[in-house]
Amino acid sequence: MFKRFKLTKRRWNNILIVAISAFMLLMAAPNLIKQYLIEQDVEPQVLSGLVLDPNANPIEINYAGIQFYLDDETWHAIPEKWTSDAANVIQRWRAIHGTPVDEKTYAKLKPVLENPMTVEVWYQEKEEPQRITAYQLEKFWLLNTYDENWVAVSFEASSLIPTESNQ
C-alpha cells in the first residue's frame, strides 16, 4: 500500500516546488489583497499653483519677442533695451503663482480662450524647455504650470511683459 507513495527524487522535487510556490503566494497575499481587492482612498492632488518649476533654476526665458538669459550670474535681455529690467522680470516670473483651475472650470473657459502666448523657459538641469501657454482674459491670465495644471493669475501685463512705456 505505501509502496505506491514512495518518495522518489522526482516526486521530492515536485513537492519542494509546490511547497515553495505556496510559501511565496502566502507571503505575497497581503500585498495582493491590498492592491487588487481593497479600494484605496485616493488622496486629492495638492496643487501648488506655481507656474515655474521650484526645483529647477531657469537660465533663459523667451516670450513676446524678448529673450532673457543668464550670463555670469547676471540677467541680460535681447533686445538690449530690456536688460536693465531683466532681473526684476525674472524674479517676478519665479514668484508667480495662481489659483488652480479644475477641469470643469477650464472646460467652461475654453470657448473664450483666444490668441495664446507661448513662454519658453529653459532650466539649467533639464534638456527640454518648459512651454507655458498663457491666455489673457478680461480679469485674469490663465497659465499652464510646470506640472501640467492650469492656474488663474491676476497681474498687470506690464509687470511681466516689458513695454515701451516701461522704459
The predicted pLDDT at position 43 comes to 52
Q: What does the mean pLDDT of the chain come to?
A: 83
What is the per-residue pLDDT across 73-96, written as a single tens digit (0 to 9) for each? 899 998 888 788 888 888 888 888
pLDDT digits (tens, 9 = 90+) for 9-67: 998 999 999 999 999 999 999 888 887 777 766 555 555 778 888 888 899 999 888 89
Q: Which residues pair with 132 in a beta bridge?
A: 119
Give the closest residue to 63 by CA, choosing from 52, 48, 73, 50. Answer: 52
Q: What angle do CA 152, 154, 157 make, to 5 degrees?
A: 115
Enter the pTM of the model: 0.64
